[in-house]
Amino acid sequence: MFEHVTLLRDCEAITIPNGQPIRLNKNSEVVITQALGGSYTVNYQGQLVRVAGKDGDALGKSDFPQNKTKTSLSSGHLGDHQVNLREIYDQLKSCYDPEIPVNIVELGLIYDVNCYQLIDGRNLVRITMTLTAAGCGMGSVMTEEVKQKCKAVANVDDVDVSLVFDPPWSYEMVSDAAKLQLGLL
């Protein structure tokens, strides 16, 4: 799905994989290589960069739909203050590695998800995840995306994301569906 576009305005982006901010200049030619999970991956002067969905207009695209309010997919099965872990996983499945068109759950980057009700009644979701490469500079970008998307789930008051590299990620952690999608099966 490579699409050549000319930037309609200057916009901010983040280089992949080192995670450094960069400014993309109006009228520059870019190639959109991926548009998933609320962001765009583009090739800009030979460098892959991530453009946030809110800056999609610079690429001539509409903004991705944003969760402005807390959402709930379930009805009646949970108490008023419980968190539905299925909804947490649905949000995690909307987060994508910027270089691989597979969500982070199917990619095997999510190691553990737990919800704790704190003594003051608030709900904390604690997520343990990894990256495909320990030296990837996109860790803070990806963990922030996970936090923001999971905070949109009903009854989630706070999200703590721990980025770990033990055990290290490997292709064996990728789901069979994702392997099929990537042509690895």
Tell me the DSSP string of 36-62.
ETTEEEEEETTEEEEEEGGGGGGGT-P
Domain boundary among 44, 59, 74: 59
Is the same domain home to 48 and 99? no
**Spatial distance between the Cα atoms of 31 and 126, rounded to a whole number of angstroms:** 36
Is the same domain home to 7 and 96? no
Is the same domain home to 92 and 47? no
- Domain count across the chain: 2
Is the same domain home to 17 and 92? no
Asked if the structure places residue 20 within a domain, the reply is yes
The model's pTM is: 0.81
CB 149 within 8 A of CB 156: no
* The predicted structure's pLDDT at residue 136: 86
Asked if the structure places residue 79 within a domain, the reply is no
Q: pLDDT means per 10 residues in the chain (185 residues)?
A: 90 92 95 90 93 92 57 47 93 92 95 94 96 89 95 96 94 90 82
CATH number at residue 166: 3.30.300.130
Q: Which structural domain, as residue segments, surrounds residue 129?
A: 85-182
Is the same domain home to 110 and 163? yes
Is the same domain home to 103 and 16? no
**Spatial distance between the Cα atoms of 155 and 53, rounded to a whole number of angstroms:** 25
Is the same domain home to 155 and 108? yes
Is the same domain home to 95 and 53? no
Asked if the structure places residue 66 within a domain, the reply is no
Q: Let me know the angle formed at the C-alpha of 145 by 149 and 150, rounded to the nearest 5 degrees.
A: 25
Is the same domain home to 55 and 98? no
Pairing of strands 11-15, 3-6: unpaired
